[in-house]
Amino acid sequence: MKLGIVALGGLLTMGTALAVTGPLRAATQLVTAQANQPATVEPQQNDLRAAIARVNPKQPIQVRVISRTNVPVVTTVASVTDDRPVAPGQTVTFGRLHTSYLSLPLDLQVSLQNNPDPAKPIGVFLDVKTVGNEVILGVKTSITPSGASSRAIRVDKQGSIYLY
């Protein structure tokens, strides 16, 4: 009986010691692994999408949004402008090709002006093309099963354009 209690006490002590030193050892190995990795220059994004187009980041940039929809949409350039409505068949332009009004990185979002009806989800789609340093966004909508009611593009500091 005494032997069983001593053995049980020993097992409990070992378990406690492993529970305390195990995480410390794991943390030490983690720090060591991180110390062996080269430092990154910029934080890395988890999104592995490829750029869909490019513009020259050293020249002025213009973005033209063309609504090819039958419902009103709203477009916004983050931290530059307020929401700008785009009526069906109309166009909105941001920036100019002769002045550096827009700076990089540039984030632009296009979304439905009104909340979509859950019974008929509407998706927003963007056709993106460039002509010189002008980014042309053709906006289309369609009833879809999972209707994403907004889309965005990002132009990074190197002039690469990404669609989200």
pLDDT tens readout for residues 135-162: 999 999 888 776 678 899 999 999 999 9
Q: Is 136 within 8 Å of 30 (Cβ atoms)? A: no
In which residue are the tokens 């966004």 written?
137
Beta bridge partners, 91, equal 66
**Is residue 85 one of the residues assigned to a domain?**
yes
Euclidean distance between CA atoms 111 and 148, whole angstroms = 9
pLDDT for position 117: 74
Give the span between the Cα atoms of 124 and 135, in whole angstroms: 18
- For the purposes of burial, counting CB atoms within 10 Å of the CB of 5, is it exposed (0-12), middle (13-18) or buried (19 or more)? exposed
Answer yes or no: is pLDDT of 121 > 70. yes
106 shares its domain with 149: yes
Q: Both 105 and 68 in a single domain?
A: yes
State whether 90 and 151 are in the same domain. Answer: yes
Domain tally for the chain?
Answer: 2
Do 130 and 91 lie in a common domain?
Answer: yes
CATH number at residue 125: 2.60.40
| 19 shares its domain with 70 | no
Whether 117 and 148 map to the same domain: the answer is yes
C-alpha to C-alpha distance for 30 and 107, rounded to whole angstroms:
36
Task: Give rounded-to-5 percent helix, strand, coil for the chain.
Answer: 20, 35, 45
Are residues 108 and 67 part of one domain? yes
pLDDT in tens, 56-84: 999 999 999 999 998 899 999 987 778 89
Does residue 46 lie in a domain region? no
79, 14: one domain: no
Domain span at 22: 1-40
Q: 64 and 36: one domain?
A: no
pLDDT at 26: 38
Q: What is this structure's pTM?
A: 0.67
Tally Cβ neighbours within 10 Å of residue 95: 21
DSSP state of 58: T
